[in-house]
């Protein structure tokens, strides 16, 4: 056991800013001096870099990751009467966006290992109203997109990837947005590519999605003074400047996250009372979160309280699954298709350990040491 108590933060935003301050400051100043802050040249530049990063034809900057989802749903004609199949163990916004578009969220169980949607549960949930599959690349690892694509082709369904958490990840032979109609991204500060505030984007190879989302985000306008009903959901040029500076570091930051994940997984291998994250062979997991699960649900809150008391800002993602939220489903249409024991286990047992590129070996080792100490006391 290490003697000294450390405070280990959950996020490293300020460390990250200090590491590349000159690059971020230069872009911010460039925007400030340009006099163009909305739909300006910095946004255009960042959209083109983001499309290159994903290997897609198009990238459209919007206000946040939730808007990216429902603007995409609307662009694809998903609305009232349509059903979208997804999971309940995700951030609330996935279902929220389906409801904002006026469609019905249908929840199936998640895979017990990856915690992403279980493709073998999808077909039983399909009805004549099913219009789209909405897999979430939870915690930074892609869902099984090949299986999802096959089901979508067989049943003529749209696929929208909620990629708020996995920028820079890939599967075995597929990239994000390769096997779908569009993928959406969130740039809120805590995501792997985060700005100092809110932001989001849609990446797609579909020209119509590009055209319609571009129009919808800007008051239904693609020509000065001409409008159809739309919304105001643009990515500001200041945020685009921050993101453009950070995008260049995204792969190197993913490598660091993966390095810390390897260190956690080696260090925690002997623990008897927890399960460690699973990596699908051939996939690149970018560890937005490093999520362990207590083997028994009754141990979770105790471990979380123990780590917090030891100075480690561990958290839970997500302790209350969407169907367990108070007021669910807010009077909006939703249904659960079949039992969802894996999603419920994930909500009951999950703990996220500190995970960000700027962690130090000392912080990771201290965290490992404290988890092992708890584990010994439980035995
Ligand atoms: C963060 C997140 C969103 C929403 O993104 P915002 O930018 O906060 O609107 C949607 N889905 C998932 C899975 C997320 O993690």
According to the model, what pLDDT value does residue 135 have? 98
Domain boundaries, the chain: 16-247, 250-377
Give yes or no for residue 236 CB within 6 A of ligand 1: no
Neighbours of 334 (CB within 10 A): 21
Give yes or no for residue 89 CB within 6 A of ligand 1: no
Choosing from 61, 165, 287, 346 the residue with most ligand 1 atoms within 8 A of its CB, the one to mutate for a pocket test is: 165
Tens digits of pLDDT across the chain (379 residues) = 556 899 999 999 999 999 999 999 999 999 999 999 999 999 999 999 999 999 999 999 999 999 999 999 999 999 999 999 999 999 999 999 999 999 999 999 999 999 999 999 999 999 999 999 999 999 999 999 999 999 999 999 999 999 999 999 999 999 999 999 999 999 999 999 999 999 999 999 999 999 999 999 999 999 999 999 999 999 999 999 999 999 999 999 999 999 999 999 999 999 999 999 999 999 999 999 999 999 999 999 999 999 999 999 999 999 999 999 986 766 677 899 999 999 999 999 999 999 999 999 999 999 999 999 999 998 6
- Tokens 């362990």 -> residue: 292
Give yes or no for residue 94 CB within 6 A of ligand 1: yes
CATH number, domain 16-247: 3.40.640.10
According to the model, what pLDDT value does residue 332 have? 72
According to the model, what pLDDT value does residue 208 have? 98
Give yes or no for residue 254 CB within 6 A of ligand 1: no
Q: What is the pTM of this model?
A: 0.97
CATH number, domain 250-377: 3.90.1150.10
Give yes or no for residue 141 CB within 6 A of ligand 1: no
Q: How does 74-98 read in b/e, with b if 16+ C-beta sit within 10 Å?
A: bbbebeeebbbbbbbbbbebbbbbb
Cβ pair 124, 118 in contact under 8 A:
no
According to the model, what pLDDT value does residue 330 have? 62
Whole-angstrom distance, CA of residue 252 vs CA of residue 107? 35
The residue whose CA is least distant from atom 2 of ligand 1 is: 164
Cβ pair 245, 27 in contact under 8 A:
yes
According to the model, what pLDDT value does residue 113 have? 97
Q: What share of the chain is helix, strand, coil (3-state, %, to 5)?
A: 40, 15, 45
- Helix residue ranges, H only, 101-226: 145-155, 207-216
According to the model, what pLDDT value does residue 312 have? 98
According to the model, what pLDDT value does residue 328 have? 74
């Amino acid at each position: 056991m290490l003697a000294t108590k450390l405070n280990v933060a959950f996020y490293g935003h300020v460390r990250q800013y200090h590491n590349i301050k000159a690059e971020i400051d230069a872009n911010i100043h460039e925007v400030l001096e340009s006099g163009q802050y909305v739909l300006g040249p910095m946004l255009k530049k960042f959209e083109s870099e983001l499309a290159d990063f994903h290997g897609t034809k198009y990238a459209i900057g919007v206000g946040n990751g939730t808007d990216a989802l429902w603007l995409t749903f609307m662009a694809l004609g998903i609305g009232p009467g349509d059903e979208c199949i997804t999971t309940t163990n995700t951030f609330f916004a996935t279902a929220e966006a389906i409801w904002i578009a006026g469609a019905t969220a249908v929840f199936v169980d998640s895979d017990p290992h990856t915690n992403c949607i279980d493709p073998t549960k999808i077909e039983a949930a399909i009805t004549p109203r099913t219009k789209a599959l909405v897999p979430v690349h939870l915690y930074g690892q892609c869902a099984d997109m090949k299986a999802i694509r096959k089901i979508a082709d067989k049943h003529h369904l749209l696929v929208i990837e909620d990629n708020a958490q996995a920028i820079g990840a890939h599967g075995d032979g597929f990239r994000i947005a390769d096997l779908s109609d569009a993928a959406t991204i969130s740039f809120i500060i805590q995501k792997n590519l985060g700005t100092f505030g809110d932001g989001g984007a849609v990446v797609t190879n579909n020209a119509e999605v590009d055209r319609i989302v571009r129009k919808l985000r800007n008051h239904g306008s693609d020509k000065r003074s001409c409008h159809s009903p739309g919304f105001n959901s643009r990515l500001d040029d200041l945020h685009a400047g921050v993101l453009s500076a950070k995008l260049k570091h995204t792969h190197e930051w993913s490598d660091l996250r993966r390095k810390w994940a390897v260190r956690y997984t080696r260090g925690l291998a002997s623990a008897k009372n927890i399960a460690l994250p699973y990596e699908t062979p051939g996939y690149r997991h970018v560890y937005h979160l490093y999520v362990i699960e207590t083997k028994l649900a009754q141990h979770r809150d105790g471990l979380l309280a123990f780590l917090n008391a030891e100075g480690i800002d561990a958290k839970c993602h997500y302790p209350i699954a969407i169907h367990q939220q108070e007021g669910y489903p807010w009077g909006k249409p939703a249904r659960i298709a079949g039992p969802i024991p894996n999603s419920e286990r994930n909500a009951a047992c999950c703990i996220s350990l500190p995970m960000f590129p700027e962690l130090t070996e000392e912080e990771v080792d201290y965290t490992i040491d404290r988890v092992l100490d708890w584990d010994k006391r439980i035995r």
